[in-house]
A and B are shown apart, each in its own frame.
Chain A
Amino acid sequence: MDYAYYPGCSLESTGVSYHKSIVEVFRALGLGLHEIEDWNCCGATAYMSVKETVSFAISARNLAIAERMGKGDIVAPCSACYLVLAKTRRFLMERPELKSKVDEALAAAGLTLKCKCAVRHPLEVLVSDLGIEAIAAKAKRRLTGHRYACYYGCQMVRPERYFEEDREFPMAMDDLMAALGAEEVEFPLKVRCCGASQMVTNEEVGLDLVQSLLECAHARGASAIVTTCPMCQYNLELYQDKISSRAGKDLHIPVLYFTQPLGLALGCDPQALGLQHHTVPLPQEALILEEV
């Protein structure tokens, strides 16, 4: 199976380990991943709050190029990119007036858009196209003793209906980790917002939100938090020093991308999965896994 791949800006810098681990995991599972040629920023929530038509138009450029490549559905790992691209596609399909404006803008660059390629999150792609059982059958190692708090964040599960998961209590990632041998951790804050860019624009509020997530993960005895979004990963990992000192207790915990434990189970090399990029590293003993 082949997919068009939209990494997004974060996966080139702060989220580089997400990029590395996705590429590794898709290769290990025999799925083709074809980066969208010369993709541009999706616009994120920031552009959306400045200019409406422009924000849809720049997002649509990526959809148009992916369509031209003809490699199938678009895989967007960053929750914000996923949401923005999927939302753009839906708005353009349901609002012809908006579509004609965007078409005209795209024509200025010689592009056309038929909205043929669906926009999907890699977690959903793996779980629906391959299935958890098929993935577990390919595992070479067991994640025994690992206790992952599966954190879905907000933008991936919420507004777009392409992801047929329970919006209030999704289980896809929990089920996947459990099938790979990890111990289940009940994490009630799994879809609570991490604050996203509030961490920059309104830090106290951002710290509050992240602190409640870290406290919950600790209280539930998690050994790591597993995320699906570079923004969540960044907020949850990079502010642990600050939050620990403001909370008056040690709240440090490794924060991984779901593709990293999955990659470890599939027998990928920890370096290739980008584990060296994390500031709160997974302990060495956690990398020693029993063979299946």
Chain B
Amino acid sequence: MAVSNLTDHALSPGTLPHSERVLRKAFLDQVDDIPGGEKLRKCIQCGTCTGSCPLSYTMDVSPREVIARFRAGDIESLLRSRTIWTCASCYNCTVRCPAGIKITDLLYALKRMSMDQGIYPKRFPVYVFSESFVKMVKRYGRNWEVGLMERFQRRTTTPVLGLFKSMSMLPIFFKLFRRGRVNIFPKKIKGIRDLKRIIEKAEQMERPVERIEEKRPTRVVGYEAIGS
């Protein structure tokens, strides 16, 4: 097998594959923006974060293991994990961490990276929710709950099922409506143009994203891979 077909990972064990290096750099750049972000390196793997998390029982990778995997050079598996989407941002881990690690903010960074890379299941509820929320804010300047829920239900499933799912929201909708707690129509802020200008400008200053290639499984392993 020609050497040129091999990844640098296979050639020099111990170094990270190209995709991981890209992800690592993107991740550490984001960590730089977090006040106290550098404390990430002080993790003692005590598991206080996992023990404090009200949702860790539903996660596939515990918050402690998130840091362990980052250290082991496996960010890609984190971007594919359920964990980053399960976090409810209650900050219990962040407040209790004896090393002062900003775990919630790290999970935000991973969530953004997963979206940047397009790594998440299609119609994935948390992504659709965030994306629908962003749409509402861009359009009106404020969140319009009715529009958000309608879009969310529609986008998380097929059109027909979506209609059905939207219908299932009706009991709560009427309950709220009867009590005067629903805005049937959206309310646009006066300065929506200003807000759009701010968003446009800020978007230009977002860091460029380098896309990684999909990991392709190979049958060639071990010594065979380096052609001996």
Whether B91 and A40, one on each chain, are in contact in the complex, defined by CB atoms closer than 8 angstroms, is: no
Q: A45-B89, A49-B108, A202-B125 are in contact. Are A38 and B190 (CB under 8 A)?
A: yes
Cross-chain contact B94 with A159 (CB below 8 angstroms) = yes
Chain B residues whose C-beta falls within 8 Å of the C-beta of A38 in the assembled complex: 189-191
Tell me if B213 is interfacial: C-beta within 8 Å of chain A. no
A101 touches B202 (CB 8 A): yes
**B179:A98 contact, CB within 8 angstroms:** no
Which chain A residue shows the least CB distance to B115? A50
Report chain A residues within 8 Å CB of B44: none
Q: A91-B35, A196-B89 are in contact. Are A102 and B202 (CB under 8 A)?
A: yes
Q: Which of A9, A108, A195 contacts B198 (CB 8 A)?
A: A108
Write the nearest CB–CB distance from A254 to chain B, whole angstroms.
Answer: 13
Complex: how many Å from CA A252 to CA B86? 27
Q: Known interface pairs A54-B202, A109-B191, A238-B172. Does A159 touch B137 (Cβ–Cβ under 8 Å)?
A: no
Q: Is A115 an interface residue (CB 8 A)?
A: no
| A277-B179 contact given A13-B145, A57-B202, CB 8 Å threshold | yes
| Pick from A108, A201, A205: contact of B201, CB under 8 Å | A108
Shortest Cβ distance from residue B26 to the other chain A in the assembled complex, whole angstroms: 11
Assuming the A-B contacts A41-B142, A57-B202, are A109 and B194 also in contact, with contact meaning beta carbons closer than 8 angstroms in the complex? Answer: yes
Bitwise interface map of B from 184 to 228 toward A, beta carbon under 8 Å scored 1, else 0: 000101110011011111110110000000000000000000000
A50 in contact with B112 given A61-B195, A193-B88, A279-B175 (CB within 8 Å): yes
| A41-B197 contact, Cβ under 8 Å, with A52-B30, A90-B35, A193-B54 | no
Task: Give Cα A279–Cα B176 distance, bound, in whole angstroms.
Answer: 8
Contacts of B181 in A (CB 8 A): 13-16, 277
Minimum C-beta distance from B101 to chain A (A) = 12
Q: How large is the interface on A (under 10, 10 to 19, 20 to 34, 35 or more residues)?
A: 35 or more
B180: which of A50, A94, A154, A277 is its contact (CB, 8 Å)?
A: A277
A109 to B122, CA, bound (A): 36
Whose C-beta in chain B lies nearest to the C-beta of A195?
A: B88
Is A50 touching B90 in the complex (CB atoms < 8 A)? no
Inside 8 A of B191's CB, which chain A residues have their CB? 38, 40, 109
**A104 and B201 contact, Cβ closer than 8 Å, known pairs A38-B191, A158-B92:** yes
B62 to chain A, nearest CB (A): 15
> Contact at A43–B137, with CB atoms within 8 Å?
yes
Q: Tell me if A144 counts as interface (CB < 8 A to partner B).
A: no
| Docked pose: A104 CA to B205 CA in angstroms | 9
The residues of B that contact A57 with a CB separation of less than 8 Å are 198-199, 201-202
Known: A9-B142, A154-B90, A158-B95. 18 other contacts (CB 8 A): A13-B183, A14-B181, A40-B141, A47-B130, A49-B112, A51-B112, A54-B203, A57-B202, A58-B202, A61-B194, A91-B35, A108-B201, A111-B194, A154-B88, A154-B91, A158-B90, A158-B92, A205-B86
Q: Which residues of B contact A (CB under 8 A)?
A: 30, 33-35, 54-55, 58, 85-86, 88-92, 94-95, 104, 108-109, 111-112, 115, 125-126, 129-131, 133-134, 136-137, 141-145, 149, 152, 172, 175-176, 179-183, 187, 189-191, 194-195, 197-203, 205-206
17 contacts between A and B (CB under 8 A): A13-B182, A13-B183, A16-B181, A47-B130, A49-B130, A50-B134, A52-B206, A90-B35, A107-B201, A109-B191, A111-B198, A154-B91, A158-B95, A159-B104, A196-B89, A209-B55, A276-B179
